[in-house]
Every structure is written in structure tokens, then in C-alpha cells.
């Protein structure tokens, strides 16, 4: 994404990164100790990182969530101890924008599902830029029902701008497929842990995010609509996306404060892509810990607490004030 704010900022680091690498190589190739110079450059590098990424606005976090090098769902799934992918919705076709199947997280068998973007143009076209069709949601619903029958916990990874909005998807009942997915996850009699790892956009994200425990990476986003879409709807001006991002309250901190997200997984300075291996490891540890707490809970209690969790969302109580602002 050429207009990504984060990528533009990272360009200022390229020369310094090159100089540090060259100095390390030169230091290793000769007896002269250059550790002081290397350390000075590394300290300067960290200082610049803090200046560039130490405090990000909601709009900047949107761009961080969209970074093309950010770990995708398959980057997390590939780190499971085993993954046997299952294909197809048993109605029409397989949708590559949702991957899922049996997996082992340590010694724990689970059903894992994730929305998958591409790394390059060819893969993005094949996976429809991570925007699932009705067949993808029907596949997700099928696998969730299978997991429920087999007593397997469900792990999902959320990363989509939203469901595919094309005419073909509408003709194939996109809204019905998403609604069925919501019902399936809401009534599954097994523990569910969902993690927002990139963008969580609209009902297309929510379809895989009904869970007993919702995790979210620090610089991911999760909202009812994209900032651009929200700005176009509210002000008929997509150029006001930055203002919309601030008003949507789409950051992990906002959502944790509202009780929509249960846990925030920290990211390194500069974003998850700067140390993807560590971020993936910490995320899987957090998921496993959540499943450890949920596994002993009975199915009836899981359903009751899941219902109560989502009934609480959006609660609001007006102040008891008369029209001029004084108590009645």
C-alpha cells in the first residue's frame, strides 16, 4: 500500500538500518572493536523509533493494522504444532479467504479458523484481499459445528476489511451466511477464543469473533465500518477518514475499556512486523492460557456467560437531568 503512513515513516529508518548492518559486518570481519559505535547507532535508532511510533493516533493505528508485512492468520496457524486444513462449504465451493481445520496447540486439539489476506498481488487476488464470500462463512460455520460435535475448542483469527461486497456475494446470500455464522458461534457448546490480529471490519469480522474470550493485538483495529466508509456515510466525504477513525473508538485500548475486548497483546515498538516471531509466540501463549481457563467450564455455563457477555455490550444509562441540566 503505497500511501500507508507507517511505510512512509519507515523509509526514514532504512539508511540507519543499513549503516548499523554494515558496521556490525565490519566489526565482525576485523579485530578492531567497534561495539561502542554500533551501540551508539542502535541507541539512536531506538530513539527515532520512539519518536515515530511511541504514540500513535487512531488513524495511524489503522495504517499499522494494514501494514503489508504484518503477520497474517496463516503466520499464526503455521506455528501450531499441527494443522490439517479442511476445505469447502459443502454447498458450492471453497473460499481461500477463510482457512480452517484441525490443529494442535501444544498438546491441545482445537479447530482453528482465520481470515487470510495475501502477501502479494497474485495471492491477494486469489484470497480476495481477505474479504470472505458467503461460501467462506458457510465453511466457517460448518467447521464450528463440527468442532462443537467433537468437543474441540475453537480458535479464530480476525483480519479483514469486511465481507465481500460484490453482486455475486449478494446473490449468494451474504447476509444470511454471516447471520448463520453468528448463530453458530453464539450457540457452540465448546470454548471459543478469538484474536483480532489486523483489521476487524464490520460484520465480516464479527462473524468469526463471537467468543468467550476476545484478544486483540495492540495496534489492530476493530470497528463497525472502515474509517473511509464511515466518513462517506456520515459526511459524504471519504477524505474525513482520519476524523472518523478517532470517533469510531476502534483501537484496542478503547475496546478494552468498553469491555468488548478482554485482553490486549502488546506489540514491539514499530508494530508486530518488526518482530513477528515474538508476537506470534506471545499471542499463541495468550490463547492457550485463555483455553486453559475455559476448558473446565461446563457447556451450560459457557453458553450462559457468553450470552451475558454480549448482552452487556452497548449498555448505556442516561443522566437523570431535566432539559436545563439540573437534577429533577
Under 8 Å between Cβ of 247 and 235: no
**Cβ neighbours of residue 143 under 8 Å, at least 6 residues apart?**
86, 100, 101, 111, 113
pLDDT-based confidence at 115, cuts 50/70/90? very high
- State the chain's mean pLDDT as an integer: 90
Asked, for residue 153, whether it belongs to a domain, the answer is: yes
pLDDT at 320 over 70: no
Q: Are residues 103 and 50 in the same domain?
A: no
Q: Are residues 93 and 177 in the same domain?
A: yes
pLDDT at 18 over 80: no
Nearest-angstrom CA–CA distance, 191 and 293: 10
Give the 3-state DSSP-derived string for 85-133, with helices as H, strands as E and coil as C. Answer: ECCCCCCCCCCCCEEEEEEEECCEEEEEEEECCCCCHHHHHHCHHHCCC
Q: Are residues 25 and 141 in the same domain?
A: no
Exposure string of 279-292, with b = 16+ CB inside 10 Å and e = fewer, is bbebbbebbeebbe
For the stretch 239-290, pLDDT in tens is: 899 999 999 999 999 999 999 999 999 999 899 999 999 999 999 999 999 9
Q: Are residues 37 and 118 in the same domain?
A: no
The number of distinct structural domains making up the chain is 2
Asked, for residue 318, whether it belongs to a domain, the answer is: no
Q: Are residues 85 and 38 in the same domain?
A: no
What is the pLDDT, as a whole number, of residue 301? 97
Q: Are residues 31 and 153 in the same domain?
A: no
Q: Are residues 48 and 118 in the same domain?
A: no
Asked, for residue 122, whether it belongs to a domain, the answer is: yes
Q: Are residues 244 and 195 in the same domain?
A: yes
pTM as predicted? 0.88
Asked, for residue 219, whether it belongs to a domain, the answer is: yes
Asked, for residue 31, whether it belongs to a domain, the answer is: yes
Count CB-CB contacts under 10 A for residue 105: 21
Under 8 Å between Cβ of 198 and 72: yes
Q: Are residues 47 and 76 in the same domain?
A: no
Question: Grid coordinates standing for 104?
Answer: 494442535
For residue 146, what are the domain limits? 64-312
For the stretch 36-63, pLDDT in tens is: 777 777 788 778 888 888 889 999 999 9
Q: Are residues 215 and 113 in the same domain?
A: yes
For the stretch 134-182, pLDDT in tens is: 999 999 999 999 999 999 999 999 999 999 999 999 999 999 999 999 9
Count CB-CB contacts under 10 A for residue 87: 13
Q: Are residues 203 and 288 in the same domain?
A: yes
pLDDT-based confidence at 313, cuts 50/70/90? confident
Under 8 Å between Cβ of 44 and 309: no
pLDDT at 28 over 70: no
What is the pLDDT, as a whole number, of residue 327? 45
Amino acid at each position: 500500500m503505497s500511501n500507508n503512513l507507517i511505510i512512509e515513516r519507515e523509509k526514514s529508518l532504512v539508511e540507519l538500518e543499513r549503516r548499523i548492518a554494515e558496521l556490525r559486518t565490519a566489526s565482525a570481519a576485523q579485530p578492531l572493536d567497534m561495539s561502542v559505535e554500533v551501540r551508539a547507532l542502535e541507541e539512536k535508532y531506538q530513539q527515532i523509533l520512539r519518536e515515530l511510533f511511541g504514540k500513535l493516533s487512531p488513524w495511524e493505528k489503522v495504517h499499522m493494522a494494514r501494514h503489508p508485512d504484518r503477520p497474517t492468520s496463516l503466520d499464526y496457524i503455521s506455528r501450531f504444532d499441527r494443522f490439517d486444513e479442511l476445505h469447502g462449504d459443502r454447498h458450492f465451493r471453497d473460499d481461500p479467504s477463510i482457512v480452517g481445520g484441525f490443529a494442535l496447540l501444544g498438546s491441545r486439539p482445537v479447530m482453528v479458523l482465520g481470515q487470510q489476506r495475501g502477501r502479494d498481488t497474485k495471492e491477494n487476488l486469489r484470497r480476495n484481499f481477505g474479504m470472505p464470500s458467503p461460501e467462506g462463512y458457510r465453511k466457517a460455520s460448518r467447521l464450528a459445528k463440527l468442532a462443537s460435535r467433537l468437543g474441540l475448542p475453537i480458535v479464530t483469527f480476525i483480519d479483514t476489511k469486511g465481507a465481500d461486497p460484490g453482486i455475486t456475494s449478494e446473490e449468494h446470500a451474504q447476509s444470511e451466511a454471516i447471520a448463520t455464522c453468528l448463530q453458530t458461534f453464539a450457540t457452540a457448546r465448546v470454548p471459543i477464543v478469538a484474536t483480532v490480529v489486523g483489521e476487524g471490519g464490520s460484520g465480516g469480522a464479527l462473524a468469526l469473533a463471537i467468543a468467550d474470550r476476545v484478544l486483540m493485538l495492540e495496534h489492530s483495529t476493530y470497528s463497525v465500518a472502515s474509517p473511509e466508509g464511515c466518513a462517506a456515510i456520515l459526511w459524504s466525504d471519504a477524505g474525513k477518514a482520519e476524523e472518523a477513525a478517532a470517533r469510531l473508538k476502534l483501537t484496542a485500548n478503547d475496546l478494552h475499556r468498553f469491555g468488548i475486548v478482554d485482553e490486549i497483546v502488546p506489540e514491539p515498538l514499530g508494530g508486530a512486523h518488526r518482530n513477528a516471531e515474538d508476537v506470534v509466540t506471545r499471542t499463541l501463549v495468550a490463547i492457550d492460557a485463555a483455553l486453559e481457563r475455559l476448558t473446565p467450564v461446563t457447556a451450560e455455563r459457557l453458553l450462559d456467560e457468553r450470552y451475558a457477555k454480549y448482552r452487556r455490550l452497548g449498555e448505556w444509562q442516561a443522566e437523570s437531568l431535566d432539559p436545563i441540566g439540573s437534577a429533577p
